[in-house]
Structure 1
């Protein structure tokens, strides 16, 4: 039997099995009448779930080229050379999907991984915003203005957007665990160097590097969730990861306000360095490698056939692949949803001390820092039900359709994105602008906006993991790339906007950006599946006959 015949037979077998599984699962869904039944919900065989593990990599081409070169060098020993030959262990399991990986870990191990992923997400946003209450003091130390110091936040956000372009592919190539450990250690070292910065350029440089290493935890954590959990469980667990990041965003500023009120602003960064070191040790002890097989292990196993003592092989990759992933319309449209949310979030949080202090005659950093507790508590409360709500909606529509459609998850963002969050922004901004309602009004609506955000992010992040698993880490990496560019724009422009047109109109602009994001969600819900199927065929990731609909 020729290679083409074997491939054809394998494809027919996969399609036949997929059809049988769909029929069986559809029959089972008819008996699912409660959430208790949903716990035993089958994993539906659909084209975007039955992704061979070797398809889901960023750098498979590089690995295949290297394997072909190694095997060609062995041709004199009568070993056949062939292009795009995968490692035998991988080829033997080519029908293993991402969902199968999740079954290899115990529930306890999965929970430990979720806790570590969530806590790691705390570091970068906390480092990003913990110094905000100390901006006037830092500006005085370096003989500059608060606006210049806030530009360092914009630079920080730019490097946050670059981070997934580098470390998302690295986690695919070398593994989640080693990439996580290296980034955690380098984050701690760079944060120490921020704390001892003698001048403004040094402060800017090492702040940027802390962003580069610290933001890697977001994309690595998303990969870990994708490795460990089936789609119907990802929203709930993704919400815990996201809550860690958002709580760090808000409570970091509270911590910064307390520290700068009683001691030097440099202590903020010493504390962050200590937290980074604790995270490094914790991950070293408790975090396993969640990838079933890394690109590095595939290539190293082949090289060791000739050189048994070989320990490491460098695999080149193109970081621009993350950006190129935005050519898929589903990712670019979903990316704007997160852009809208992050833009509004940073436009709200960055200028708080400059907006709230004069409005309520606050004289010390600790008081304005306490305002960050409002959205922080909203993030914490929302984390308990935002992801679970998204997973419930996915299961509900599986019962209705008889199969899973990733776009159904985005139905959970419509109310928080289209109504709740923009309304909060408008009421917050104009209550301060017109000096109406006193302190309770902005505090209450900052709290509600925090809940709304935590209902949007888990659905959007899980959608990136679910919708195009063929892209591996590119999908979620592209989302983080785009959203932190928006954060950079918001950080750099919000103070100038508040000075020029007032906090009311600045918040109104944020509300309109959120409504555009709401329109993007509607587009994906109603036309996303058709766009996704068309793009998979157009860019050669799938063939029409493979798409079981």
Structure 2
């Protein structure tokens, strides 16, 4: 079940990283992590910020809720597909030009959405909006792989992935405020202005990090599109030594093409590791959609009150992003130290099990999240005091971020020179499953209620957790062999 390329990358773990992996200091890496989080947050934010506007759009365009939900479904579909095509370009031609192009296209599309007067055009522009900005999330993971050795990736992937998914958690609150104050068009005006400001910041501050172009970042890019003004600061300029030996050689040509994400995605081990994360993300996205619809119909909440309820999943996702990175690094260090101790004096030691080291964190959060999804569904169905489902939403949001961070870190570890392509696989799995879940959500709720809906989804997540445990266990046995 373990591919030869994965084994090769795992074999590399037996060797110490050769310093410096990057010329950036830890503080500079932190600043860059925040910047790339700001560029990627618009993808997840554009999904959930839209939820509070659904009832208003249904009334505005005189369409039933099942039809207006289509604009959510198509966004998720194209959010999943977009990175699969752009990520290989970023891996080959550089992160910086890819991110700048995505931000410009996204900003222009948001302006168009703010002026839309017909529903079909809104749906079409939502597809373009997702296609234009979603690749930035995958590119961000590639950047972390460029600048951080494995021993540091947990923290930085956790920060970047978590802060970007914070947009998913807090989007509903922000959307409610914008809809109440400026109408549904205010959402897209805000997104256009915000992404425009971030584009200017990225234009000035976002450096090229692709190791095939700049190595450990001590080599100045040759192409103008890869040059950043920040490179001319004395503190950075003095470290550009032009050491061409630091440039990472081209990787396996089999992966270095437009279909690289799909080659990785359909590796059996990778597919069945991603599936549980996709199911968790799907159930999480469905629950965020439920907050925008059921709280209005069952609790008779205003748009502002519904928005305030999104504080719970928002805070959960924020805490999850901060905690998961530190836990990933801590567990990795413990497993690696234990491995190093066990192989002392062993002539043919087994390969270090990176799968277990990274995915160890997933099992318990998965089980906790499943219980909270079920509690959330039944509490909403029977109109239990709103505090109970919101506490459940806080907990499962924290758990969902931990799982996503672990999966992203593992893929960057396995395919460090295709960081953008590999992490786009996570996006593909979670967004396509999320689109399917949101697409059938209303039909399931109408048929068996919120309680039955989230009990079924909890069951799917439980099966996914068993699959994850089995794959990691079997992978570990094969690595030992």
TM-score with structure 2 length normalisation?
0.83
1:19 alignment partner in structure 2: none
1:150 alignment partner in structure 2: 69
* Aligned equivalents of 1:446, 1:336: Cα separation in 2: 22
Match of 1:366 among 288, 291, 304: 304
* Aligned equivalents of 2:386, 2:459: Cα separation in 1: 25
- Tell me if the contact between 1:133 and 1:369 (Cα under 8 Å) persists in the aligned partners: yes
RMSD across aligned positions (CA): 2.8
- Tell me if the contact between 2:10 and 2:352 (Cα under 8 Å) persists in the aligned partners: no
Task: Determine whether 1:293 maps to 2:215.
Answer: no
* Aligned equivalents of 1:245, 1:509: Cα separation in 2: 28
Q: How do 1:46-445 and structure 2 match up within 5 A?
A: 47-48=8-9, 102-294=21-213, 319-362=258-301, 364-402=302-340, 404-407=352-355, 408-417=357-366, 419-436=367-384, 438-445=385-392
* Aligned equivalents of 1:49, 1:179: Cα separation in 2: 29
* Aligned equivalents of 1:99, 1:378: Cα separation in 2: 37
Structure 1 residues 457 and 101 mapped into 2: Cα distance closer, same or farther (>3 Å)?
farther
* Aligned equivalents of 1:154, 1:467: Cα separation in 2: 31
Q: Secondary structure at the match of 2:362?
A: helix
Q: Unaligned stretches of 5+ in structure 2?
A: 1-6, 224-252, 341-350
* Aligned equivalents of 1:121, 1:431: Cα separation in 2: 33
Shift of residue 332, structure 1, vs aligned partner:
0.4
* Aligned equivalents of 2:30, 2:352: Cα separation in 1: 25
* Aligned equivalents of 2:116, 2:337: Cα separation in 1: 58
Shift of residue 508, structure 1, vs aligned partner:
0.7
Shift of residue 469, structure 1, vs aligned partner:
3.9
Q: Secondary structure at the match of 1:412?
A: coil
Shift of residue 352, structure 1, vs aligned partner:
1.6
1:68 alignment partner in structure 2: none
* Aligned equivalents of 2:262, 2:212: Cα separation in 1: 25
Deviations 1:99-127 (A, max 9, x none): 76732223333122100122223211111
Deviations 1:255-309 (A, max 9, x none): 11112123211011000011111111111111111112249x9xx99xxxxxxxx
Aligned length: 429
Larger Cα Rg: Structure 1 or Structure 2?
A: 1
Structure 1 residues 482 and 277 mapped into 2: Cα distance closer, same or farther (>3 Å)?
same
* Aligned equivalents of 2:333, 2:125: Cα separation in 1: 45
- Tell me if the contact between 1:98 and 1:227 (Cα under 8 Å) persists in the aligned partners: no
Q: Secondary structure at the match of 2:203?
A: helix
1:463 alignment partner in structure 2: 410
* Aligned equivalents of 1:323, 1:388: Cα separation in 2: 30
* Aligned equivalents of 1:98, 1:324: Cα separation in 2: 27
1:503 alignment partner in structure 2: 450
* Aligned equivalents of 1:101, 1:48: Cα separation in 2: 19
Larger mean CA deviation between 98-107 and 441-450 belongs to 98-107
Q: Unaligned stretches of 5+ in structure 1?
A: 1-45, 52-95, 302-314, 534-547
* Aligned equivalents of 2:141, 2:305: Cα separation in 1: 35
* Aligned equivalents of 1:100, 1:331: Cα separation in 2: 30
Shift of residue 319, structure 1, vs aligned partner:
3.6
* Aligned equivalents of 1:433, 1:383: Cα separation in 2: 30
* Aligned equivalents of 1:279, 1:441: Cα separation in 2: 37
Structure 1 residues 192 and 481 mapped into 2: Cα distance closer, same or farther (>3 Å)?
same
Shift of residue 467, structure 1, vs aligned partner:
2.4
* Aligned equivalents of 1:261, 1:414: Cα separation in 2: 40
- Tell me if the contact between 1:131 and 1:253 (Cα under 8 Å) persists in the aligned partners: yes
* Aligned equivalents of 2:144, 2:419: Cα separation in 1: 13
* Aligned equivalents of 1:470, 1:270: Cα separation in 2: 37
Q: Secondary structure at the match of 2:211?
A: coil
Q: Secondary structure at the match of 1:103?
A: coil
Deviations 1:154-199 (A, max 9, x none): 1011111111111110111110111111111111111111111121
